């Protein structure tokens, strides 16, 4: 287990670094955009809160 790259979305096996990279490269603003881009959060929804926190960390805020 890599503490710096935790598994965020276990449904689709999406790790934190993949989400952060997609947000930075594609300038993603919403949880929906992250889902469209990475598929994270699109199955059971349990990881949506974590995606929110990653968006907030990178962008300083989250558009809904
Ligand atoms: S854990 Fe991400 S959609 Fe289920």
Read off the pLDDT of residues 25-58 as tens digits, 9 standing for 90 and up.
999 999 999 999 999 999 999 999 999 999 999 9
Instruction: Give residue 64's pLDDT band: very low, low, confident or very high (50, 70, 90).
Output: confident
State the Cα–Cα distance between residues 43 and 20, nearest whole angstrom: 19
56 contacts 49 by C-beta, under 8 angstroms? no
Identify the CATH homologous superfamily for domain 7-59: BFD-like [2Fe-2S]-binding domain (1.10.10.1100)
Domain spans, the chain:
7-59
Q: Rounded CA gap, 8 and 19, in Å?
A: 9
What are the tens digits of pLDDT across the range 2-21?
678 999 999 999 999 999 99
- Ligand 1 pocket (Cβ < 6 Å) reads 9-11, 40-47
Q: What is the pTM of this model?
A: 0.93
Mutation choice for ligand 1 from 6, 31, 41, CB with most ligand atoms inside 8 A: 41
């Amino acid at each position: 287990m890599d503490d710096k790259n935790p598994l965020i979305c276990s449904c689709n096996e999406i790790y934190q670094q993949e989400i952060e990279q997609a947000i930075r490269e594609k300038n993603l603003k919403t949880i929906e955009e992250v889902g469209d881009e990475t598929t994270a959060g699109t199955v059971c929804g349990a990881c949506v809160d974590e995606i929110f926190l990653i968006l907030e960390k990178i962008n300083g805020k989250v558009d809904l």
